[in-house]
A and B are shown apart, each in its own frame.
Chain A
Amino acid sequence: MAEQEKKSPYRVLIGKPGLDGHDRGAKFIARALRDEGFEVIYTGIRRSAAEIAATAVQEDVDAVGLSSLSGAHLRLFPEVIKELQTRGGGDIPVLGGGVIPDEDIELLLQAGVSAVFTPGTAAETFINAFTEACEKHSDDSGQ
């Protein structure tokens, strides 16, 4: 069974909205996903929600992962979701990670974030969450 009909890799965008300049976490996630076979579009630090959403739509990704350490996640993550919706990308799931207090996690989930990670989250956990989100997205869009 040399050349099986292989599924195309999932494409995800990892972005850092907001003003903090530390992207160790974002890069760690990007590399971990690459090592699991994802194609990861990395947009670098200090991006606006609109820039991230426009890029995600242009690149036709299956999921967007956001990282924020500045404490502005309650504003920024939902803003990305809103920007995606206005650009016709409301179907693209958004996952988020960073220094996020327990009480905010539920709020983010209610605001439409698909999964939330904190610095203690095991790599396996977020990789599974990305895989699930991408699977669901590509099934729904019939690709």
Chain B
Amino acid sequence: MTAGSNELLAGLARQDPRAIGRAISAVENNSEAAADILSSLDQDVIDSVLVLGITGPPGAGKSTLTSAMIRALRKKGNRLGIIAVDPSSPISGGAILGDRIRMMEHALDPDVVVRSMATRGRLGGLCASAGATVRIMAAAGCEIIIIETVGVGQSEMDIIRLADITLMVLAPGFGDDIQAMKAGLLEVADFLVVNKSDLAGADALCMDMEQVFHDKQEEDGIARVLQTIASLNQGIEQLLATVKTFGLHLETSGIKEERRHMALDAETLDWIMEILRPRFAQAMSEKTERKDPRIRAKELIKELVTRQEE
């Protein structure tokens, strides 16, 4: 444990914004302090937080909805963490992280901890950084953590595995996106939020979605399709109340614990890939071969394992 990591840990306990930001950078950049910090966090605290995933196509109103939820949850006195994920440019590797624009009313609230995060072109790795960020925010006293991420393809939704409860946000006028996602919707989303319900087409979208979620809804009697007008702060209380009921149901039924286990497994697997990738890349660069890639891969794995055992 270095002096630097001790200082960061003490800062986290004090809920110091600078320390929280730095600790998150340490894990995001996989720096030396990261392992120290993560291994020192209290698992009970991590278990007790609620992680909400908000996903959906760009422009559906995820950030606006997140901001409205922050407003409502702050009235109840909860300390909150927000992880807002936006894609990195595949060409330059850079990113514009603009979700905060819609959340700036909370900028001076010390109990709203926001971190913007770019995908950095490696969704597996992102899952690992976002998972670590959840734990740091929990250690810094956040009780509810919201992860906002763009979700149109299956791979982008991977990060949603980190969430205890996932809300898919749609809006009228996203017909193509919705058709593309429809099949996978049930698998990823606990709730379907039809935002922009002030716009024409919202009712039709709701009816469509009610059909998709019909069976789930029958199971436990909890409404799965909810309407909001995030920009006017409407439907938010109802949404939060329903999510809360569902959260209790997850807890008592043991589903939350099960989901956490699966999330940890997924994250561990991501870490294995992160750690192994550069080693194999190195091994490959040492020996150019014109073999079938699958056979070559197996040979490389075998080589690395034997080298490890020696």
Contact = CB atoms under 8 A, between A and B. Distances in A.
B17 A42 contact: no
Contacts of B104: 43-44, 47, 51, 55
A41 B92 contact: no
A135 interface: no
A87 B118 CA distance: 25
Contacts of B238: none
A11 B153 CA distance: 26
Pick from A33, A50, A60, A87 the residue with the most CB of B within 10 Å.
A60
Contacts of A55: 100, 104, 107, 114
Nearest to B16: A88
Interface stretch (B49-57, B144-152, B209-217, B277-285): B277-285
Interface in A1-59: 1-3, 5, 8-9, 11, 30-31, 33-44, 47, 50-51, 54-55, 57-59
B285 A1 contact: yes
Interface stretch (B18-26, B161-169, B224-232): B18-26
Contact of B115 (A31, A34, A59, A143): A59
B118 A3 contact: no
Given A43-B101, A54-B108, A34 B96 contact: yes
A58 B114 contact: yes
| Contact-residue bracket for chain B | 35 or more
A142 interface: yes
Contacts of B92: 34-37
A34 B113 CA distance: 24
B27 to A, nearest CB: 11
Contact of B96 (A30, A47, A58, A143): A30
Nearest to A55: B107
A119 B94 CA distance: 23
Nearest to B100: A43
Interface in B84-110: 88-89, 91-98, 100-101, 104, 107-108
A2 B93 contact: no
B118 A39 contact: yes
Given A2-B281, A2-B285, A59 B96 contact: no
Contact of A41 (B24, B89, B113, B116): B116
B190 interface: no
A49 B115 CA distance: 19
Interface string B8-32: 0000000011101110111011110
A70 to B, nearest CB: 18
A43 B84 CA distance: 13
B173 interface: no
A11 to B, nearest CB: 8
A87 B284 CA distance: 48
A78 interface: no
Interface string A59-85: 110000000000000000000000000
Contacts of A5: 278
Interface of A: 1-3, 5, 8-9, 11, 30-31, 33-44, 47, 50-51, 54-55, 57-60, 87-89, 142-143
8 contacts: A8-B29, A30-B96, A35-B92, A39-B94, A40-B95, A42-B101, A47-B107, A143-B26
